[in-house]
Homo-oligomer: A and B are copies of this chain.
Amino acid sequence: MSEFRQDKATREWIVIATERAKRPNEFRMKRSAGNLALAHELCALCPGNEAMTPPELIAYRHGGQENGPGWWVRVVPNKYPALTPEGSIDRKMEEGFFRKMDGVGQHEVIVDSPRHDCALPLMDDWQVEEILRAYRERFLALQQDARIKLIIIFKNHGLAAGSSLLHPHSQIIATSVVPLNIRNKLYEAARYYDEHGRCVYCDMVREELRDGKRIVEEDDAFIVYHPFASRVPFETWIVPKGHEACFALISPHEAKAFARTLKSVWLKLYLALNDPDLNYVLHTRRSMHEVSESYHWHLQITPRFTTAAGFELGSGIYINTALPEETATFLRE
């Protein structure tokens, strides 16, 4: 089982993932480039190879057997999970000084499509809707576990984004600790609400709409923009116009619009920037039962043109070499 360990000086938690552990000598630098291309026959996410993954949690299929082909979206536990459901969230002390805890959580893989090499922006609209439906269905299942304090739904696209598989997939990691930067995000949103009586994200959406120069696109339900304080070039946010803290409370109309928007903005990045490596992360309250007037769910896209170096690691301050006003204009036109 994995374990959480707490940094004694900062009280930050990290995960030691023994399920995916390497021996120390396996870290020797390999000086040749990696290769994402992998034959279909060897791809654990391709139809026909279902036995190469743990048994499916859900699958949307037209006929066919459970754990056989015929699906268009499939969710399985990660074969090398960072966190697993067994264990206790009791904190334990090691040598009476260091704090640790069982690696309680869940780690799932959403196979976005049966097609091995079709990135999300090139998929049909209905396929993207079905991926988001799977996100929501698994989110609702995971929030049942009271030990889960945070559910992160994300995607790594490309080597520079930390992906080792070409076959399109997303991941969900549910964790039993709340890390500092999430705690801070919720705290600052609450503090803004206390000062202004309004949600800071609603206010940002209103300001972006009023000004317009950082907007990439919008419709009646969503706004897409490059935030004023973008951390990296082409950082892109998709934010619902209506106030809602939890993604799972999305309406059927909004769900369709969200799929269309996600595909559309990624396609803009794909065409303008030659399929850039990127991550996206869905930020949401952990439960649809947590009413919050101050928090507001959103999806954050982080293209990976640059590498966080010593200054970013040491200070947490990002140095962005592009103006969001210019990158938004570039994508819009």
Contact = CB atoms under 8 A, between A and B. Distances in A.
A7 to B, nearest CB: 4
A184 B10 contact: yes
Q: Specify how many copies of this chain sit in the oligomer.
A: 2
A64 interface: no
A285 interface: no
Contacts of A233: 22, 24, 27
Interface stretch (A47-55, A135-143, A160-168, A240-248): A160-168
Given A9-B192, A188-B10, A281-B310, A317 B177 contact: yes
A7 B49 CA distance: 45
A21 B320 CA distance: 8
A161 to B, nearest CB: 6
A245 to B, nearest CB: 13
A247 to B, nearest CB: 13
Interface in A303-323: 303, 305-311, 313-323
Interface in A211-254: 211, 227-231, 233-234
A327 interface: yes
A16 interface: yes
Contact of A184 (B13, B180, B275, B305): B180
Contacts of A277: 29
Contact of A207 (B16, B33, B97): B97
B27 A305 contact: yes
A150 B207 CA distance: 32
With a 10 A CB-CB cut-off, give which of A25, A231, A319 has the most chain B CB atoms. Answer: A319
A150 B62 CA distance: 59
A173 B313 CA distance: 13
Interface stretch (A38-46, A119-127, A197-205): A197-205
A156 B310 contact: yes
A116 interface: no
B274 A314 contact: no
Interface in A61-117: 82, 94-95, 97-98
Interface in A144-203: 150, 152, 154-156, 159-163, 171, 173, 175, 177, 179-182, 184-185, 188-189, 192, 200-201, 203
A331 B234 CA distance: 41
Interface in A1-25: 5-18, 20-25
With a 10 A CB-CB cut-off, give which of A275, A317, A331 has the most chain B CB atoms. Answer: A317
Contacts of A17: 319-321
A280 interface: yes
A307 B310 CA distance: 14
Contacts of A10: 181, 184-185, 188
A200 B28 contact: no
Given A21-B321, A152-B314, 14 more contacts: A5-B229, A9-B192, A14-B319, A15-B318, A21-B323, A22-B321, A24-B329, A98-B228, A154-B311, A156-B310, A159-B307, A161-B310, A182-B316, A279-B313
The 3 closest A-B pairs by CB, nearest first: A162-B309, A154-B310, A281-B314
